[in-house]
Amino acid sequence: MRAEESIDYYKRWLETEVVYIISEEEKDVFQKLTTDAERAAFIEQFWARRDTDPTTAENEFKIEHYRRIAYANEMFASGIEGWATDRGRAYIMFGPPNSIDRNPTGEKYLRTGLEGGGETMTYPYETWYYSYIEGIGSGISLEFVDPTFTGEYHLALHPYEKDALLNVPGEGLTFDEALGRVSKRARIDALFMGRPSYDVGHTGADRAFQGLENLQWYFQLRSPKEVKYPDLRAVVTTDIRYETAKLNPRFTYSYLYLDAEHCLVPAAFGLRLSELTPRETPSGQAIVKVNLYGKVTDLTHRVQYEFEESISQTAEGDLNQLFLYEKRLPLKPGRYKLTGVLKDEFSGNIGVLQQGLDIPPLPKAELAASSLKLFIGARKAEADADLTEPFTIAGGLKLYPSLDRKFEKGKGPVGFFMEIYNCGFASDTGAPAVGANLSVKDGDGKQVLFAQLPRSSLRLVGNRVMVLHQIDTQLLAPGQYTAELSAYDAIQDQEVRQVARFQVAAG
């Protein structure tokens, strides 16, 4: 390769092929290299660090990245190459969206209440919906607008950018503008100031249009995602030897359905306090701190979710107690592999776990249930807590799961939690007619407990029924047990049940 060709090749690689995924630190290192051999070695290591499955001959991440570039160049070119457009950037960085609402010709548009209501005309626009973007959040809608009718859509910073009548006096008014309560000028100013002109509440999905926060979000989308704990990610992405790990993490998961296509998967991690090294704070309090890195991949090794957390808690009392943390994973029904690394901040010791996640599809027209979750304790959640917060369930409660499904006799109850979906509702009262039974059998299959659960154990939350019940461990001798929680819908004459195994140990 001639010198000028070499320069062009590496310049194109840096400024075109990996421009959206290379970090500033990597870019600085690459630009300081002086020989082609160094640059070639850097590129090889660059892709190796991102390989989702180093055990295979192919680098799936690299293949998918260049596929996305080719797709963007084919689909989004508009006087400039497709990879350089905002839609191309989003597609290359985040992959195909979960859904796209295309409006290629402009049309009459009824604004949502969050946009002030009223009817207007729009420029051509597209709304891309992502259920999750790593490093950004859940429920993200990206709006691309083509105000020049040339096919070059830009990422909108504000919902008013698609309004073709925004600068036409007296046309396309919102409800409040039509009533004379506010001036249309305020909305025009809002567009250029990057803030909404209506003081209304926004959900997580509307985060794209929240003033200063939106500006931060907007530029986040244009920056390569940084990893806070690259040493922990390296443990996951390289061929490690697990015998070097000095921590013994415990893990359990459950699943709740948000709808037929989306689930919330509470993934709980735990370590014995005795495994961790405490450090005394200036106030004299002993604390432990754990850094957590996790990655969820599907059966094709494609990363579906990546997360990092740093968790601290006091280290007092019984050292056999668990350091417990729960991460809420937004996933679709399917089969996944979760790989996690936990690191003791103060000793440097690590623990590694790999766990399969199996989330069955939700039947659309018949009674269905979440997994049966065993919990060791419950308490009231904070007033503003929502389902994205650790341990929280609908109805304002926090449930702390049993990681090893082991309960000590006489030391607290065994808790059972399950949600019921697709219930029937009576035409006259609008209420469901769901009952639930709990059966517990010992290791020999002999039934040792049966209970028809009281109405106080069932709660209607939205369109689902929550079943929440506890039994005293004093009722059970030490040994292995199988619990079956069944729910019956009298309106639809349907039944659903889930099973979980647990152990009662001598106190």
Quote the percentage of the chain above a pLDDT of 90: 37
- What's the confidence (pLDDT) of residue 208? 36
Domain 229-362 CATH class label: mainly beta
The per-residue pLDDT of the chain, averaged, comes to: 83
Rounded to two decimals, what is the model's pTM? 0.56
- What's the confidence (pLDDT) of residue 196? 38
Composition of the chain by helix, strand, coil, percent to 5: 25, 35, 40
- What's the confidence (pLDDT) of residue 189? 61
CA atoms within 13 A on the CB side of 351: 19
Q: Are 143 and 162 in contact (CB under 8 A)?
A: yes
Task: Give me the residue spans of the domains in the chain.
Answer: 1-49, 97-220, 229-362, 365-507
Closest by Cα among 269, 279, 273 to 319: 273
Instruction: Give the full edge-to-edge strand order of the sheet including 479-489.
Output: 406-408, 494-505, 479-489, 434-442, 447-452
- What's the confidence (pLDDT) of residue 394? 76
Mean pLDDT of 466-473: 94
Rounded CA-CA distance 471/449 in Å is 10
Task: Decide if 229-362 and 365-507 have a common fold.
Answer: yes
- What's the confidence (pLDDT) of residue 81? 92
CA distance to 36, 153, 191, per residue, from 195 (Å) = 48, 21, 7
Rounded CA-CA distance 353/235 in Å is 11
Closest by Cα among 415, 418, 381, 375 to 398: 381
Rounded CA-CA distance 404/407 in Å is 9
Beta bridge partners of 103: 125
- The answer to which of 102-116, 213-227, 417-431, 476-490 has the lowest mean pLDDT is 213-227
- What's the confidence (pLDDT) of residue 429? 83
Q: Are 487 and 358 in contact (CB under 8 A)?
A: no
Backbone angles phi, psi at 60, to 5 degrees: -60, -35
- What's the confidence (pLDDT) of residue 209? 37
- Going by C-beta distance under 8 Å and a sequence separation of 6 or more, which residues neighbour residue 246? 349, 350, 351
- What's the confidence (pLDDT) of residue 393? 85
The two three-digit tokens of residue 360, written as one number: 């069955």
216-274: pLDDT as tens digits: 455 455 555 555 556 666 555 544 444 455 889 999 999 999 888 888 899 999 998 88
What beta strand segments (E) does 150-302 contain?
154-155, 250-253, 256-257, 263-272, 279-280, 286-298
CATH number of the domain located at residue range(s) 365-507 in this protein: 2.60.40.2550
